[in-house]
Amino acid sequence: MEKKKTTQKSHPKPELDDPDSGLWNWIIHRGTAATFLCISLFAVLVRLGVSLHPYSGAGIPPKYGDYEAQRHWMEITTNLPVKQWYRNSTSNDLSYWGLDYPPLTAYQSYFHGIFLRFFDPQSVSLYSSRGYESYFGKLLMRWTVLSSDVLIFFPAVLYFIISYYYGKPNSQKRNIGWHIAVILLNPCLILIDHGHFQYNCISLGLTVAAVAAILSDRDVIGSVLFSLALNHKQMSAYFAPAFFSYLLGKCLRQQRPFVKVVKLGLAVVGTFAVVWSPYLYSAEAFLEVLSRLAPFERGIYEDYVANFWCTTSIVIKWKRLFATQPLKLLSLAATVSMCLPSMIQLILAPRKSSFLYGLLNSALAFYLFSFQVHEKSILLPLLPASLLALEEPSVFLWLAQNGLISMFPLLVRDKLVLPYVALYSLFSLLYYTPSGRQHERETCYLTLKVLLLGCVIALHVAYLTVTPPRRYPFLSEAIIMLLCFSQFVLVFLYANYRQWTVSKLSSPSTDKKKHL
């Protein structure tokens, strides 16, 4: 009783390390909610600023670009029955931006289409709305991305921050604000979603929420959330080996492992069944949708993406030497083999400390070696790198900078050079804030950074001002591709090494349950 009276009088702030301290009390007393809100408001303003600039395919007929693809999907889903969304017909010409993402993307397009139809019916009118680019229509489209970001990605980041820092020592809690900022102000994600125009914030937000749930030992919820991410964008499969290996390894170390595996399996199958239910009435309908998700006819690579197949094509002409079928098998074998070391480690020693590294390694393996990778796919390995920013700040900076550079040719085509430079500068200032990574500010390290920055600036200026030889029109893109590929490989090797060493340093006792 005396203890309770003393507590009521002094109102001490509950320690995060105290298991009796409630989660809500921690959020309030530590100021996490206020910090997150302030950074979120600034992140929204940055997104609004970027959205004022052009987007993919603006004013470029006949197919325009990603903006038109997203608008067209809203047009199709709001005007046709659900069974016809993925079916080629006179009303739905699949050669003109046919749906090529899983059903959850189609449902998202439907709800956004309803929103557009309420305020601007012409923007989703069947047949007549192709290439529709009215000013009001653009505002509505930009709003759908911003609202998706705020409603899905932002809360998922808060959930992750709470799960990640709950129980950590005071020395690490001081970096909460910095960590929130580097995740929410990820320049690559902002430029692609709010500049180029996509909805990666939804699938990535669901993935972040799934990671947070698993860090909180809510494995069933985490499995459901990741299944939703897979059903929004099939590229979320970049993370699947890490999720599968960690959860399997964890199940094998519990009582009644078979029951645990079945429980998680049912959660995954149930989620997929609900999402795919409109297309499960026949095998033909199911395969019709499935065939749209694998664009093998486009070849093993498109454009100048900084992965293995495109980079080595300078020497080995993969598309000329091999047909699509052997290339599919070759890329599959390469991707699986590169994922294996990370997967084996997570199965043998499923530690939370190595789970995030596993996500990074899995995503990088897919980016570097899988079939039909786009420049924008660097967002997937960059996500776990941002979640690891506190433990691996140099890796995050390394990957983020090279990810930005690898997308530079794409952003130049979209006329997004100004927001690119602004966000690159903002990210650099944010990373080197006084509360950031002070231990990295040694003289030699800074000298190297300045030299590298000078080279990067020279590369950008040369790309914009120097005309390449007529014989090699894509020389600048090839140089950027070679540079970034080499850096991605180095990050991949280092992250694999760190995953194994971190696992050895940690013990099962450090993975105490955190039911939030």
Give me the torsion for CA of 139, 145, 148, 150, rounded to 10°: -80
What pLDDT sits at residue 434? Answer: 57
What pLDDT sits at residue 8? Answer: 44
CB 485 within 8 A of CB 493: no
For 163-179, the pLDDT digits (tens) are 998 877 776 778 899 99
* Alpha carbon of residue 91 to chain centroid: 33
What pLDDT sits at residue 30? Answer: 59
What pLDDT sits at residue 24? Answer: 52
DSSP assignment letter at 301: B
Q: What proportion of the chain, given as a percentage, has pLDDT over 90?
A: 69
Q: Structure tokens of 39?
A: 């950074």
Task: Kindly write down the DSSP assignment for every residue of 424-466, as one continuous string.
Answer: HHHHHHHHTSTTS-GGG--HHHHHHHHHHHHHHHHHHHHHHHP
pLDDT at residue 304 greater than cutoff 70: yes
pLDDT at residue 323 greater than cutoff 80: yes
Nearest CA to 210 out of 35, 383, 453 is that of: 383
What pLDDT sits at residue 175? Answer: 85
Nearest CA to 290 out of 234, 337, 237 is that of: 234
pTM of the model: 0.90
pLDDT top residue among 252 and 504: 252
Q: 107 falls in which pLDDT band (50, 70, 90)?
A: very high
Taking CA 101 as the corner, what is the angle to CA 363 and CA 207, rounded to the nearest 5 degrees? 40
Dihedral pair phi/psi, residue 395, rounded to 5°: -65, -45
What pLDDT sits at residue 9? Answer: 43
Q: 297 falls in which pLDDT band (50, 70, 90)?
A: confident
Q: Which of 121-125, 168-172, 327-331, 396-400 is the least confident region?
A: 168-172
What pLDDT sits at residue 439? Answer: 46
What pLDDT sits at residue 459? Answer: 87
What pLDDT sits at residue 7? Answer: 44
pLDDT top residue among 486 and 503: 486
Q: For the residues 116-140, what does the mean pLDDT come to?
A: 94
Lookup result for tokens 């993370």: 239
What pLDDT sits at residue 445? Answer: 61
Lookup result for tokens 């192709």: 130
Provide the 3-class DSSP secondary structure of residue 167.
coil
Q: For the residues 488-511, what does the mean pLDDT come to?
A: 82
For 190-235, the pLDDT digits (tens) are 999 999 999 999 999 999 999 999 999 999 999 999 999 999 999 9
Nearest CA to 516 out of 265, 174, 209 is that of: 209
Q: For the residues 267-285, what does the mean pLDDT come to?
A: 95
pLDDT at residue 26 greater than cutoff 70: no
Q: For the residues 389-401, what does the mean pLDDT come to?
A: 92
What pLDDT sits at residue 20? Answer: 41
Q: Which of 21-35, 45-59, 67-81, 240-254 is the least confident region?
A: 21-35
Query: In this structure, which long-range contacts are made by residues 491-496, counting pairs with CB atoms below 8 Å and at least 24 apart in sequence?
Result: 491/364, 491/385, 491/395, 491/398, 491/399, 491/402, 492/338, 492/361, 492/364, 492/365, 492/368, 494/395, 495/357, 495/360, 495/361, 495/364, 495/392, 495/395, 496/341, 496/342, 496/357, 496/361
Q: Which residues contact 370 (CB under 8 A, 6 or more apart)?
A: 238, 307, 331, 332, 335
Say how many Å lie between the first and final Cα of the chain, rounded. Answer: 28
DSSP assignment letter at 516: -
For 417-475, the pLDDT digits (tens) are 999 999 999 998 888 775 555 444 455 566 777 777 788 888 888 888 888 888 888 88
Q: What proportion of the chain, given as a percentage, has pLDDT over 70?
A: 89
Q: Structure tokens of 45?
A: 């303003």
CB 30 within 8 A of CB 173: yes
Write out the H or E segment, with its range, that includes residue 468. none
